[in-house]
Amino acid sequence: MPKFTLFALVCSTTYLAYTVQLEDIEFIVTQSLYQTVDMLEVREITIEIAHDGFKTGKFTAKELASAFLERIAKWDKAGPRINSTMAMSVTALEEAEALDYYLKEHGKLMGRLHGIPVLIKDQADTKGMVTTYGSAVARHNIPDEDAFVVTKLKEAGAVILGKTTLAEWATVWFSANGATDYEFTKNPYNLVYDVGASSGGSGAAVAANFAILAVGEDTGGSIRVPSSFCNIVGLRPTPGLISRTGFCPLIKVQDTPGPMARTVTDCALMLDCMVGFDPRDEFTGFAATAAALGLPKGVNRVILAAIDKLQSSGTTFVDVYIENLDHYMIYPLTYLQRSRSDINSFLATKPHLPQDIADILPEKSDTPYMSTLCAVAHGPKDPRSDPTYLDRILVRDEFKRKVDCLIASLGLDALTLPDVRVPPPRFEDAANGRFMKNGEEDFPTNTYLASVTRHPAISVPAGFTEDGLPVGMELIGLEYQEQTLLELAYGIETIIGGRKAPPAPF
């Protein structure tokens, strides 16, 4: 499989019109980027447009939520049936109406996401809504407590519309899962193509304008792959910046929730409302610290064209080389060594569900795209019993040091590369063995680089292949450099203009 050269990005920020801080969002506006919309037309609507509509009385939060729910009912649950959503809230309109009352009574918005419709990946517990983790065994699982992130979003004034589809146990590169009887989630840009990875429902829903924002989760690329395939912006933060409490895990040291949106600005605003210390997730000690501080050639053509455009605008790119990159990106992955243990630790908090994922899934599957999941389910109960586990951890840390030194020694702002080496695959590619090599799954993603090093990364729309399929450009920074990545991504978004709405009606 041909691969893409790894580039380093050295970027002058003189053209940037936006900065982000984790504790306080600051806007520097040089020109109006968005136009107002009719109260019933919600395609491509942003947080800024929504809040302007609320303040000026053009429409209410309840009317906005109703418009999105109507689109979901008409185009996601029926009609072409994108199949990006699962359980829906029965109280969303009441909650939106309460926000309208608050604005009327107090003359101000309740929070930074006041009235903003949000969808939640079904990997996260959501109070009062069926939460399946992509498995048929949890079709009747209704949590009595929100995941920490869901609580944070509600506190910011978000209106939670419902849940989005995900790959089974957040482990598969394709969207079908047992909770939906293995029905794929369709790509809004071409309905016979998949949306990719385990946050595919969130990616498709944001792309198709079923919500303004969505929560994703990324272990090995599950925010960035669907963001690339669905032409949206998705950020994988530094693990520990956002709490995982209430999320079914896959690899606890790599797992991280993150924001998914149609614009960098909205992605940044959502991130600011998600971060924070959580005593139930010891990894969020990092958050406290940070607060104190199709064809490969089709993808390459789009990325190279974007790089040319950025270079002509003053951005400097430097070719970099990491020896044994393939080994470093694959060998330190510990899905087969520790995911069973991490998932089982979550199942232990759900006594009404099976207590071992090995009791849920067969040891082997005749379906190629399920092979890794089945292998994960039947891995060791204790990762330390695997003789390669310690060596994988040591290689992981060695790789991180190499990447850190590379960025620091060359004075780079970020590394850049395509999220995935192919455009969105067709549904039949899930079963025809296209992504199998020597009997093992071999999905051509580049997202493992940031996952293994546990660095933050963001995917930004870069353009489309000749077949009209989206391609994303990924930026990787050092730990806690989310602000830098968002600034760079905003510049790319402004210069490239890679986000295009999918064909009507989406």
DSSP 34-85: -----TT--TT--HHHHHHHHHHTSS-HHHHHHHHHHHIIIIISSTT----E
Structural domain 7-293+297-496, CATH architecture: Alpha-Beta Complex (3.90)
Tell me the pLDDT tens digit for each residue of 289-336. 656 654 456 788 899 899 999 999 999 999 999 999 999 999 999 999
Query: Is 217 in contact with 248 (CB distance < 8 Å)?
Result: no
Mean pLDDT over residues 384-412, rounded?
Answer: 96
pLDDT at position 381 is 97
CA distance 346 to 343: 5
- Model confidence at 151: pLDDT above 80: yes
**Mean pLDDT computed over every residue of the chain:** 90
Tell me the pLDDT tens digit for each residue of 205-243. 999 999 999 999 999 999 999 999 999 999 999 999 999
CA distance 160 to 147: 12
pLDDT at position 292 is 61
333-356 burial: b if 16+ Cβ within 10 Å, else e: bbbbbbbbbbbbebbeebeebeee
Q: Which of 198, 228, 339, 341 is catalytic?
A: 198
The verdict on whether 222 is a catalytic residue reads yes
CA distance 284 to 303: 34
- Model confidence at 392: pLDDT above 60: yes
CA distance 411 to 414: 9
The fraction of the chain above a pLDDT of 90, given in percent, is: 85
Mean pLDDT over residues 403-417, rounded?
Answer: 95
pLDDT at position 439 is 84
The verdict on whether 55 is a catalytic residue reads no
Burial (Cβ within 10 Å: 0-12, 13-18, ≥19) of residue 402: middle
- Six token digits for residue 282: 């010891």
**Taking the model in full, what pTM does it have?**
0.90
- Six token digits for residue 131: 């939460």
Three-class secondary structure of residue 164 per DSSP:
strand
Cis check for the bond before 505: say yes or no (omega within 30 of 0): yes
Q: Which of 66, 84, 89, 222 is catalytic?
A: 222
- Model confidence at 29: pLDDT above 80: no
pLDDT at position 384 is 96
pLDDT at position 441 is 87
CA distance 257 to 214: 11
Helical H runs in 80-218? 92-106, 148-155, 200-207
pLDDT at position 345 is 97
- Six token digits for residue 279: 């005593």
Q: Which of 121, 152, 154, 252 is catalytic?
A: 121
**Of the listed ranges 19-28, 96-105, 257-266, the one predicted with least confidence:** 19-28
